[in-house]
Homo-oligomer: A and B are copies of this chain.
Amino acid sequence: MGFETKATIANFGGKLLKLEHDSTSTKTKMALNLYLPPAATSGSNTKVPVLIYLSGLTCTGDNCAEKGFFQCYASKHGIAVVYPDTSPRGANIQGEDESWDFGSGAGFYVDATEGDWKNNYNMYTYITEELPKALFESFEVLDAGRVSITGHSMGGHGALTLFLKNPGKYRSVSALAPITNPINCPWGQKAFTGYFGASNKGKWAEHDATELLKKWEGPFETLIDVGTGDNFYKNGQLLPENFEAAAKEKGVEKGVSVRYQKDYDHSYFFISSFAEDHVNYHAKFLLK
């Protein structure tokens, strides 16, 4: 499905495109931002690698494009950045807009199996299959062979689980303040109960980064930053220690760099402060 370009904005020597397309996965119109670095807009025919950034609860693809500062470093490395939305919008499902941590803005990057949600809330298929396929068809400058993934909070959960569920699909994964063990935190339990049903614990585990890491075979590495002043961390929504324990259990702890950043909160002031480290981390894999 082709994209409608709603705006083209000059930024850090490249272009930020505000795109919309009709999604077959969500059966809604989906908006996203695509940052094309100078290397992709110079008219040369060299393809650029792609970093997918998955946003957190309540966000759209706009928040990080405006406040995350990833474009600054993606521009220097010649990496494109994709900022998808966090859920379908306007699916007209009862309760869709009732809470900030379920429904609109809270798709959790899963394909729902329950109730009306399963008709539209298929963000897993949208992000892993439909969106990249559509982007690579419409933007020849994007290199389908070099894709990495990152995200924040619910989007960090998305990045880790999509990487762990699809060996070889992404070159690297990192996360900022990710929900790493949703089956054991209030946000995840509420979302998985709604999208998968309370009893379908097998399905829950299929979308839990800590559970997936326990089943992972072979080497694994990632970069994760968490702020020690993050109230969601302090209230047990992120549980990075559980992910670290699973890494140790699997003997891959050397590859799992979880950095506890003193005093940082959950906001874009935290994200922007470490955007450079995360883009540089992915550049090691995308540019080699």
Contacts and interface: CB of A to CB of B under 8 A. Distances in A.
A229 interface: yes
Interface stretch (A113-121, A261-269, A280-288): A261-269
Contacts of A229: 10
A13 B262 CA distance: 9
Nearest to A75: B273
B67 A10 contact: no
A246 interface: no
Given A66-B67, A67-B66, A67-B67, A272 B72 contact: yes
A11 B72 contact: no
A273 B69 contact: no
A10 B264 contact: yes
Contacts of A264: 10
A31 interface: no
A267 B265 CA distance: 26
A261 B14 CA distance: 12
Contacts of A273: 10-13
Interface string A225-268: 00101000000000000000000000000000000011111011
Interface string A2-45: 00000001111100100000000000000000000000000000
17 contacts: A9-B265, A9-B267, A10-B227, A10-B229, A10-B261, A10-B262, A10-B265, A10-B273, A11-B270, A11-B272, A11-B273, A13-B273, A16-B269, A66-B66, A66-B268, A67-B67, A72-B72
Contacts of A265: 9-10
Contacts of A67: 66-67
A269 B10 CA distance: 7
Contact of A10 (B9, B11, B268, B270): B270
A230 to B, nearest CB: 10
Residue from A9, A67, A264, A267 having most chain B Cβ neighbours under 10 A? A9
Given A10-B227, A11-B272, A69-B69, 5 more contacts: A9-B265, A9-B267, A9-B269, A10-B261, A10-B264
